[in-house]
């Protein structure tokens, strides 16, 4: 095992919107069933922004406040805010900027990271670099998504999958052998078209492969919502999650025998089961909250981490593997000694 991690997690927090959208609610608005969603994906309900008027930065602010308090700090102690999202408040400035404003984190530098569902893992590796260089001491690393804002109600195969929420951690320089002891990030741009939302950016008016099918039969502009080839994503996701786990463990100098807890990205219960089987961890050592949250993209792992710690499922000394995959494709993993 790596003897000296560079950074540790000093506090965690999360926020999920109060509105609950159940599979039964979905049955009333589209051609789907609770049975189909439960069997194929494992989701029973998801938390959604709905008509609450919240934005991504609002949810991120709640999660960040909880993490700062949990770390015993004040907003002005924060040196940097790194926020992973694919559903920013606006094109610019970054969503992290509004979190800074809401918190009153007047001494921080703030910016966003875009790596889809792997975004929080990417952001953690960036934070590690700052801490290693000695540039910053207290960094907020947030994953926050208003993913239902990109969901296409005419596409039942994607609409049922997603939820909203935010998770945050405060990281600091490690002072002993507890902290982030391994990590791995990777991407493959050849696979961008399997999972994307290609409207809104500077390519919106240029020819893209799907241009001919840009509008559906109801005249709905499909560019602004999530387009996904579910089957292909599923197959690749299982491989990417396993690679992430193996490479992060290799970086940490450990094997699955050393692991005591697993936090997979919550995209599909069957994918979670596949990675749990690979690292040989029993159900009680695997975080599964997708039943209640849906896929919250970059928020999924920090939300699950905070819940697992607060529920007492993760304890001091645990060796936790987190692994994620997402649009890009991007994928990656972390090993945390708590």
Q: Which residues are catalytic?
A: 117, 265, 295
Q: Report the C-alpha gap between 272 and 265 in whole angstroms.
A: 8
- Angle at alpha carbon of residue 149, lines to 146 and 151, rounded to 5°: 115
The least distance separating ligand COA from the CB of residue 171, rounded to whole angstroms, comes to: 24
Q: CB nearer to ligand COA: give 179 or 294.
A: 294
Judge if the upstream peptide bond of residue 266 is cis by omega within 30 degrees of 0: no
> Under DSSP, is residue 175 helix (H, G, I), strand (E, B) or coil?
coil
Q: Is 80 left (phi over 0), alpha (psi -120 to 50) or beta?
A: beta
The least distance separating ligand COA from the CB of residue 54, rounded to whole angstroms, comes to: 22
Q: Which residue has the tokens 């506090």?
A: 11
Q: Report the C-alpha gap between 242 and 186 in whole angstroms.
A: 13
Q: CB nearer to ligand COA: give 130 or 325.
A: 325
The least distance separating ligand COA from the CB of residue 147, rounded to whole angstroms, comes to: 10
Q: CB nearer to ligand COA: give 117 or 323.
A: 117
Q: For the chain, how big is the Rg over CA atoms in Å?
A: 19
Would you say 43 and 23 are in contact if contact means Cβ atoms under 8 Å apart?
A: yes
Supply φ then ψ for residue 173, to 5 degrees: -60, 140
The least distance separating ligand COA from the CB of residue 305, rounded to whole angstroms, comes to: 17
| Bridging pattern class, strands 19-22 and 45-48 | antiparallel
Q: How far is CA 219 from CA 158, 207, 209, in A?
A: 18, 18, 18
Q: CB nearer to ligand COA: give 40 or 44.
A: 40
Q: CB nearer to ligand COA: give 6 or 191.
A: 191
The least distance separating ligand COA from the CB of residue 268, rounded to whole angstroms, comes to: 4
The least distance separating ligand COA from the CB of residue 37, rounded to whole angstroms, comes to: 6
Q: CB nearer to ligand COA: give 41 or 245.
A: 41
CB environment 166-204: b (16+ within 10 A), e (fewer): bbbbbbbbbeeebbbbbbbbbbeeebeebbbbbbeeeee
The residue sitting closest to ligand COA, measured at its beta carbon, is 230
| DSSP secondary structure letters along 196-262 | E---SSTTTTS--TTGGGSB-TT--BGGGS-EE-HHHHHHHHHHHHHHHHHHHHHHHT--GGG--EE
Q: Which residues of the chain form contacts with ligand COA (CB under 6 A)?
A: 32, 36-37, 40-41, 117, 156-157, 160, 195, 228, 230-231, 233-234, 237, 267-268, 295, 325-326
């Amino acid at each position: 095992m790596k003897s000296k991690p560079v950074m540790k997690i000093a506090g965690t927090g999360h926020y999920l919107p109060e509105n609950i959208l159940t599979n039964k609610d979905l049955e009333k608005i589209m051609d789907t069933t609770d049975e189909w969603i439960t069997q194929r994906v494992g989701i029973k309900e998801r938390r959604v922004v709905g008509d609450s008027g919240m934005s991504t930065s609002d949810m991120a602010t709640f999660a960040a406040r909880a993490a700062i308090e949990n770390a015993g700090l004040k907003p002005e102690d924060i040196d940097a805010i790194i926020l992973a999202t694919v559903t920013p408040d606006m094109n610019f400035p970054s969503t992290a900027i509004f979190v800074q404003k809401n918190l009153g984190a007047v001494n921080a530098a703030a910016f966003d990271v875009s790596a889809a569902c792997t975004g929080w893992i990417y952001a953690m590796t960036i934070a590690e670099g700052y801490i290693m260089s000695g540039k910053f001491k207290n960094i907020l690393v947030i994953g926050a998504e208003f993913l239902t804002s990109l969901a296409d109600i005419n596409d039942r195969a994607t609409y049922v999958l997603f939820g909203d929420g935010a998770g945050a951690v405060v990281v600091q320089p490690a002072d002993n052998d507890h902290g982030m002891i391994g990590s791995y990030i990777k991407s493959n741009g050849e696979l961008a078209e399997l999972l994307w939302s290609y409207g809104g950016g500077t390519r919106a008016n240029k020819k893209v492969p799907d241009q001919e099918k840009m509008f559906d039969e109801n005249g709905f502009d499909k560019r602004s919502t999530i387009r996904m080839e579910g089957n292909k994503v599923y197959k690749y996701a299982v491989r990417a999650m396993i690679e992430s786990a193996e490479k992060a463990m290799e970086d940490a100098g450990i094997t699955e025998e050393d692991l005591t807890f697993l936090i997979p990205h919550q995209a599909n219960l069957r994918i979670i089961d596949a990675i749990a089987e690979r690292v040989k961890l029993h159900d009680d050592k695997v975080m599964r909250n997708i039943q209640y949250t849906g896929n919250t993209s970059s928020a999924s792992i920090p939300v699950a981490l905070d819940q697992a710690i607060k529920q007492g499922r993760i304890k001091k000394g645990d060796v936790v593997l987190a692994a994620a995959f997402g649009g890009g494709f991007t994928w990656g993993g972390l090993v945390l000694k708590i």
